[in-house]
Amino acid sequence: MAISYLDKIIPSGSPRWLMGQTLHLPGKEKFAGYKGKGLSWGVIEPDQLNAIDMLGLWPDDTSTTHIPPIVATLPNLKTLIIPSWFVADLKSADLPASLEALQVGVANEKKPKVYWDKTLVFPHIQMLDLGRVSSDFYAGCFTGLDRTLTIAADNKKLSLQEIGRCEKLANLFLHKAASVADINNAGAPNLQFAGWMEAKNTDFIGLEGFNQVREVEIKWNKALTSLEGLEQLPQLEQLEIAGCPKLANLGDIASVKSLKWMRIIDCGSAWIPNDTELKRRFTQAGFEKIRLEPYGRHTLLEAWKVL
């Protein structure tokens, strides 16, 4: 019953077409593994146009700053991956109307800063992945954003309230929030899923505005000690906490009536003062199956209310 990423993220391991400039490097085939889907820069054969639905752009260096014009003519392109430095010169006309998902930042970049021209509008983009860069964001640029936004809160020019203005947005992966106030500010009104990654809050006291959220994922928070405040999520059904080594207090999370499944993994063992008492608490709350066992240097808890 784990939280599904299907339709929430751009799958990094999926087969895609890759367009690059230098196809063959000394001792290295740049397109190894792409099974004939490596394209020369700006060149697509007529019989390939309809087949390309997911495309990554891989220029040799930052001297190339524009999307090749032929990309805008692809009739079935759904997903596009571009380097961060392309954003400065990006225009709406560079993207085909069929495009639904845009990822900024490629594997060899190291969290560069990205700034958007807030006068531009990309109305067809439903999924925007800015997790590989440090980016600002303007809701008015992405009026069709209704699936997923992935973004880090570490760009000083980013206003988190802009995320809150995305009225159609269903899924949010927010990295590096400094506080519960930051999390609240990024709370778009119709979110169904919230992923809070690498945050710095110690608990969730004061959490508000997530009235529609059904799935929550909390990962890699090195400061988190308590889950207090999560009981303010009235529709919460699935909860996963991972990689939070200081976690010591589960708060009243077991008492959330809507909660059907939760898992705690790679979070030490300080949150389990007594195995018997923990199991009793979850059993009394209506959980039908409880898995509590050692997991490497940590303890794993998984609890189901509906099997």
pLDDT value of position 159: 97
Separation CA 13–CA 132 (nearest Å): 16
Domain that holds residue 192: 66-304
pLDDT value of position 61: 87
Residue in the block written with tokens 């820069």: 41
Domain membership of residue 163 (yes or no) is yes
Query: Positive or negative CA dihedral for 210, 195, 183, 295?
Result: positive
Tens digit of pLDDT per residue, the chain (307 long)?
A: 789 998 899 887 666 898 988 765 555 566 666 667 888 899 999 999 999 999 999 898 899 999 999 999 999 999 999 999 999 999 999 999 999 999 999 877 888 999 999 999 999 999 999 999 999 999 999 999 999 999 999 999 999 999 999 999 999 999 999 999 999 999 999 999 999 999 999 999 999 999 999 999 999 999 999 999 999 999 999 999 999 999 999 999 999 999 999 999 999 999 998 899 999 999 999 999 999 999 999 999 999 997 5
Which of 54, 138, 139, 154 lies closest to 101, judged by CA?
Answer: 54
pLDDT value of position 24: 59
Domain membership of residue 282 (yes or no) is yes
Domain membership of residue 88 (yes or no) is yes
pLDDT value of position 40: 86
Domain membership of residue 79 (yes or no) is yes
pLDDT value of position 27: 56
Domain membership of residue 43 (yes or no) is no
Q: Which structure tokens are listed for 277?
A: 């008492």
Domain membership of residue 22 (yes or no) is no
Domain membership of residue 224 (yes or no) is yes
pLDDT value of position 37: 82
The CATH number that applies at residue 267 is 3.80.10.10
Separation CA 164–CA 41 (nearest Å): 38
pLDDT value of position 203: 98
pLDDT value of position 273: 85
Separation CA 254–CA 204 (nearest Å): 15
Look at the chain and report how many structural domains it folds into: 1
Bridge-partner residues for 151, per DSSP?
174
Bridge-partner residues for 128, per DSSP?
102, 149
Residue in the block written with tokens 């805008």: 72
Angle at 131 between CA 76 and CA 204, to 5 degrees: 125
Separation CA 294–CA 301 (nearest Å): 9
Contacts of 198 (CB under 8 A, 6+ apart): 152, 175, 176, 219, 220, 221
Domain membership of residue 2 (yes or no) is no
For 8, what's the count of Cα atoms within 13 Å in the CB-facing half-sphere?
16
CA 194 from chain centre, in angstroms, equals 9
Helix (H, G, I), strand (E, B) or coil at 250: coil
Q: Which structure tokens are listed for 298?
A: 């940590």
CA 231 from chain centre, in angstroms, equals 23
pLDDT value of position 123: 96
pLDDT value of position 34: 67
